[in-house]
Amino acid sequence: MRIKNLTGGENAGTCNWNTPTRGLKVKKEIKDTIMEMIGVPIPYFLNVLLTAILDRIKVQKCKVTPQLVKEAFEEDLLGGSTSAVFLHYRTRIEQYSYYTDIEARAAKIILGKLSCSDKPIKRDTLYQDFLKTGNFAPGLQAREDFMRLMNKLDNDFYLVADDDHYTFYSRVLKMWWKTNYGWY
């Protein structure tokens, strides 16, 4: 089951934002900024970002501000030491027999393209990239192979289909992929 994006309002209250064990109460403005940065509220990504924010508060001895949240997201989550936690999202495509060699190459190209796009990309456009990557002729077998790859990427929470378009499932993973591998 996919979790819809929580941007505030009544849905924001479904997360326990106050952390009494750490003595931190989170204002709506901060919650909204966190959700804007994270996108789909995947608990693991929320935890990594919140830990980075709490580390900054501790080191800088300051209050949480929207700017501090954005800095923790951009500097710590996407580019700093915590960015290493995302490396397995790329390496697992190559390391496990779940993706064939050609699927792995095509997946990295497709994810690179999606990471650099502000809008979802049409299925047919990505299909053409798949054909070029594998030097395949268009046809039924190539279409089935492409759809198998896209289903694998969907099942692994890299991307999501909407009608005949695809985009990244997670804003965090999209931004990380763009920062590190968006040149594909």
Q: Dig out the tokens for 68 from the structure.
A: 């501090």
For residue range 43-91, list pLDDT tens digits in order.
Answer: 888 998 999 999 999 999 999 999 999 999 998 888 877 777 788 888 8
Could you confirm whether domain 87-181 is CATH 2.40.128? no
Cα distance between residue 146 and residue 134, in whole Å: 10
Residue 8 has pLDDT above 70, yes or no: no
Cα distance between residue 38 and residue 168, in whole Å: 13
For residue 93, count CB atoms less than 10 angstroms from its CB and return exposed for 0-12, middle for 13-18, buried for 19 or more. Answer: buried
Q: Dig out the tokens for 179 from the structure.
A: 């920062």
Question: Half-sphere exposure (CA, 13 Å, Cβ side) for 10?
Answer: 0
β-pairing verdict for 165-168 and 121-122: antiparallel
Task: Parse the chain into domains and list their residue ranges.
Answer: 9-78, 87-181
Write down the pLDDT at residue 88. Answer: 83
| Strands laid side by side in the 159-162 sheet | 121-122, 165-168, 159-162
Q: Find, among 143, 132, 148, 135, the residue nearest to 98 by Cα.
A: 148
For residue range 82-141, list pLDDT tens digits in order.
Answer: 777 788 888 889 887 789 999 999 999 999 999 999 999 999 999 999 999 999 999 999
Write down the pLDDT at residue 7. Answer: 45
H or E element in which residue 32 lies: helix 28-38
Cα distance between residue 164 and residue 171, in whole Å: 20
Task: Please tell me the pTM assigned to this model.
Answer: 0.79
Residue 1 has pLDDT above 70, yes or no: no
